[in-house]
């Protein structure tokens, strides 16, 4: 069932992105007066097609499900002997260089517009997200050395206001990429004054983090983590170790074996790390101190042994829902799309010069896996994933590699500067080189995908 869901989620992502990309080419081609012969979803042999419209454009589904194309009336591919004078005027290469640029650029631009629309819709709807509230860091961590002690609410990162945890993480990703220290403005409540806030600015160096670590828990390496609720017990399971020890719902665990317990997550981690070991819990019950002893039962899962006392412990962080007006959401969508595009280009550049590992290149297997995971999490995560992949597709197609849209745009830029098109001989050589580059990238991507599956 999970495999089927992953396949369907991947098919929807791929279908939407290909159709949007090719529709960009198709609509601008029609707007420029170019005759479109075929609109295909998929590559290779056509397995299904129908003709519609005044031009009887063939709308087709092809056998290879990766990619798609818009076939226009083109002197480089078609025998034009039987073409009418009216249609000759609509042939692609007879259009001005600026019209050709518009047609080719329309595909990637359509992907960016899709991402903007998705982000704007999500920002307008309001996305429940963890608040950017910090957990107490370890004493030897970068965050602790910078002065953070926990319970701080981050209000801005490098001068950019943040409302949710993902905003904080995004700004820190960019700082790592740019090798710049992170400046956090944080506020903490003042004891005895519920409405008063203590505001301070702390600076975190990020030199210890490599761009290769961005896919992992790089925030954790700096000592940055989400604040969690206090270790106040929830429902106690009958006949479990917790009930046998006398623990009750509402008990707050303050210390375990004399060591302070920061929050519910810390308690869970201590219990999991102590199968079969006696733990002395210092509690607060109805305002009164109490000490009890509990022995976590041993649980063996896939060869891993951990402790469990069978009691609910709340660990969900504080959540906020950030709503925006339609105009504000649109601006944030544009900004998010721009920032993501710039970051993607920087990552590509750092891979070329060797600062970022080529292991970051992913292929269809990883994309399918992420599509399935985000679909299972919920529609907000799934739509966000579609937006990010749409941006990646747009950026990739703008790379100056022959056979990609970016390669064609490079040819037309040369034509604008020199006043004459690139020679057919040079174009043919460059196209073969471009195919070689793309095949190499595909092999690297598939190799990385397989490595992720078996590692």
- Please, what is the Cα angle at 32 between 27 and 34, to 5 degrees? 85
pTM of the model as a whole: 0.75
- Which candidate, 302, 297, 285, places its Cα nearest to that of 249? 285
Catalytic pick among 22, 91, 152, 185: 22
The whole-angstrom separation of Cα 96 and Cα 207 is 50
pLDDT of residue 80: 67
pLDDT of residue 346: 85
pLDDT of residue 318: 85
pLDDT of residue 404: 87
Collapse the DSSP code of 158 into the 3-class scheme (helix H, G, I; strand E, B; otherwise coil) and give the result.
coil
**Residue 29 CB-density burial (10 A; 0-12 exposed, 13-18 middle, 19+ buried):** buried
pLDDT of residue 6: 85
What is the tens place of the pLDDT at every residue in 219-245? 989 999 999 999 999 999 998 999 999
The list of the chain residues with pLDDT below 70 reads 1, 78-81, 192, 194, 455
- DSSP labels, 81-134: TT--HHHHTT-GGGS-HHHHHHHHHHHHHHHHHHHHHHHHHHHHH-EEEE--BB
> Residue 194: which residues within 8 A CB-CB, separation 6 or more?
none
Tokens 């480089």, residue located: 76
Other beta carbons less than 10 A from residue 116's beta carbon: 23
| Residue 251 token pair | 């008990």
Other beta carbons less than 10 A from residue 387's beta carbon: 25
Give the helix/strand (H/E) hosting 333: helix 326-352
pLDDT of residue 367: 82
- Residue 160 annotated among the catalytic residues of the structure: no
Mean pLDDT of the chain: 88
């Amino acid at each position: 069932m999970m495999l089927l869901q992953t396949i369907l989620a991947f098919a929807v992502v791929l279908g939407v992105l290909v159709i949007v990309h090719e529709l960009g080419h198709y609509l601008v081609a029609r707007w420029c007066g170019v005759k479109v012969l075929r609109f295909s979803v998929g590559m290779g042999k056509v397995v299904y097609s129908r003709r519609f419209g005044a031009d009887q454009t063939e709308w087709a589904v092809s056998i290879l499900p990766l990619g798609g194309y818009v076939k226009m009336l083109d002197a480089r591919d078609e025998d034009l002997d039987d073409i009418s004078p009216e249609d000759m005027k609509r042939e692609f290469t007879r259009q001005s260089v600026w019209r050709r640029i518009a047609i080719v650029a329309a595909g990637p631009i359509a992907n960016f517009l899709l991402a903007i629309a998705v982000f704007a819709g999500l920002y307008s709807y309001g996305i429940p997200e963890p608040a950017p509230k910090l957990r107490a860091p370890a004493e030897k961590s970068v965050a602790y050395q910078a002065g953070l002690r926990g319970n701080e609410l981050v209000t801005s990162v490098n001068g950019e206001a943040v409302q949710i945890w993902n905003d904080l993480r995004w700004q820190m990703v960019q700082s790592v990429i740019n090798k710049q220290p992170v400046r956090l403005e944080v506020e903490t409540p003042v004891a005895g004054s519920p409405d008063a806030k203590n505001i301070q600015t702390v600076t975190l160096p990020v030199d210890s983090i490599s761009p290769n670590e961005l896919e992992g828990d790089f925030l954790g390496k700096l000592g940055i983590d989400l604040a969690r609720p206090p270790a106040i017990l929830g429902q106690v399971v009958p006949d479990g170790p917790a009930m046998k020890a006398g623990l009750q719902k509402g008990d707050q665990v303050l210390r375990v074996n004399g060591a302070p317990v920061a929050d519910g997550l810390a308690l869970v981690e201590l219990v999991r790390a102590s199968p079969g070991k006696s733990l002395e819990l210092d509690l607060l019950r109805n305002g009164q101190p109490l000490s009890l002893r509990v022995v976590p039962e041993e649980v063996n899962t896939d060869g891993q042994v951990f402790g469990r006392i069978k009691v609910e412990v709340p660990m969900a962080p504080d959540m906020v829902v950030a709503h925006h007006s339609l105009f504000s959401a649109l601006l944030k969508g544009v900004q998010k799309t721009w920032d993501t595009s710039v970051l993607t280009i920087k990552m590509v550049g750092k891979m070329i010069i060797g600062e970022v590992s080529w292991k970051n290149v992913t292929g269809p297997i990883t994309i399918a896996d992420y599509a399935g995971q985000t679909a299972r999490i919920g529609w907000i995560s799934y739509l966000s994933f579609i937006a990010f992949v749409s941006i990646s597709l747009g950026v990739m197609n703008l790379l100056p590699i022959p056979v990609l849209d970016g390669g064609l745009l490079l040819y037309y830029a040369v034509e604008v500067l020199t006043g004459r098109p690139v020679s057919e001989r040079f174009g043919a050589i460059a196209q073969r080189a471009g195919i070689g580059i793309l095949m190499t990238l595909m092999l690297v991507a598939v190799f990385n995908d397989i490595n992720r599956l078996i590692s």
